[in-house]
Structure 1
Amino acid sequence: MTSIKIECVVNERYRIGESPVWEEKEGTLLYVDITGQKVCRWNPKTNEIQSVSLDDPVGSVGLRKSGGYVVATGTTFSALNWEDKKLTPLARVDEDKPNNRFNDGKVDPQGRFLAGTMSQEIRPAVVERNQGSLYTLYPDRSVVKHFDMVDISNGIDWSLDHKTLYYIDSLSYHVDALDYDVKTGKSSNRRHLYKLESDEGIPDGMCIDAEGKLWVACYSGGRVIRIDPETGKRIQTVKLPIDKTTSCCFGGENYSEMYVTSACDGMDDDLRKRQPTSGGIFKITGLGVRGLPPNQFAG
Structure 2
Amino acid sequence: MSSVKVESVVKEHAGIGEGPLWEESDQTLLFVDISGQKIHRWSAATNQVHSLKTGDTVGFAVPRRSGGYVAGVGRSIVAVDWTTQKVTSLVNVEDDKPENRLNDGKVDPMGRLLAGSMRKDAQTAQVKPGSLYMVNSNLSVTKLLSQVDISNGMDWTQDLKTFFYIDSLALSVDAFDYDSSTGHLANRRVVYRMEEGEGLPDGMTLDADGRLWVACYDGGRVVHIDPATGKRLQTVSLPAMKTTSCCFGGPDYSELFVTSASLGLDPSQLHQQPQAGHTFRVTGLGVKGRPSNSFAG
Q: 2:170 is matched with which residue? A: 172
Give matches, 1:2-81, under 5 Å.
2-81=2-81
- Give the total of aligned pairs: 297
Q: 1:138-178 CA distances to partner (integer Å, 9 max, x unpaired)?
A: 01000000111111000010012110110000000010101
Shift of 1:127: 3.4
Shift of 1:63: 1.1
State whether structure 2 residue 137 is matched by structure 1 residue 139. yes
Q: 1:244 is matched with which residue? A: 242
Q: Is residue 15–residue 279 contact of structure 1 (8 Å, CA) maintained in 2?
A: yes
State whether structure 2 residue 80 is matched by structure 1 residue 110. no
Structure 1, unmatched stretches of 5+, are: none
Q: Distance in 2 between matches of 1:253 and 1:238?
A: 20
Q: What code does the residue aligned with 1:21 have? A: L
Q: Distance in 2 between matches of 1:101 and 1:53?
A: 17
Q: Distance in 2 between matches of 1:116 and 1:200?
A: 23
Over aligned residues, Cα RMSD in angstroms? 1.0
Q: 1:245-296 CA distances to partner (integer Å, 9 max, x unpaired)?
A: 0000000010000000000000010110110010000000000000000011
Provide the TM-score with structure 2 as the length reference: 0.98
Q: What code does the residue aligned with 1:34 have? A: I
Q: Distance in 1 between matches of 2:102 and 2:294?
A: 19
Q: Distance in 2 between matches of 1:166 and 1:122?
A: 22
Shift of 1:129: 3.6
Q: What SS does the aligned partner of 1:297 have?
A: coil
Q: Distance in 1 between matches of 2:36 and 2:58?
A: 8
Q: Distance in 1 between matches of 2:137 and 2:42?
A: 27
Q: Which deviates the most, 54-63 or 205-214? A: 54-63
Shift of 1:233: 1.2
State whether structure 2 residue 280 is matched by structure 1 residue 274. no
Q: Distance in 1 between matches of 2:231 and 2:52?
A: 40
Q: What SS does the aligned partner of 2:197 have?
A: helix
Give matches, 1:155-234, under 5 Å.
155-234=153-232
Q: Which runs of 4+ in 1 moved over 2 A?
A: 126-129
Q: What SS does the aligned partner of 1:87 have?
A: strand
Q: What SS does the aligned partner of 1:254 have?
A: helix
Q: Distance in 2 between matches of 1:73 and 1:238?
A: 31
Q: What SS does the aligned partner of 2:271 have?
A: helix
Structure 2, unmatched stretches of 5+, are: none
State whether structure 2 residue 134 is matched by structure 1 residue 150. no
Percent of aligned pairs sharing the same letter: 55
Q: Is residue 39–residue 52 contact of structure 1 (8 Å, CA) maintained in 2?
A: yes
Shift of 1:55: 1.5
Q: Distance in 2 between matches of 1:168 and 1:273?
A: 31
Q: What code does the residue aligned with 1:251 have? A: G
Shift of 1:122: 5.6
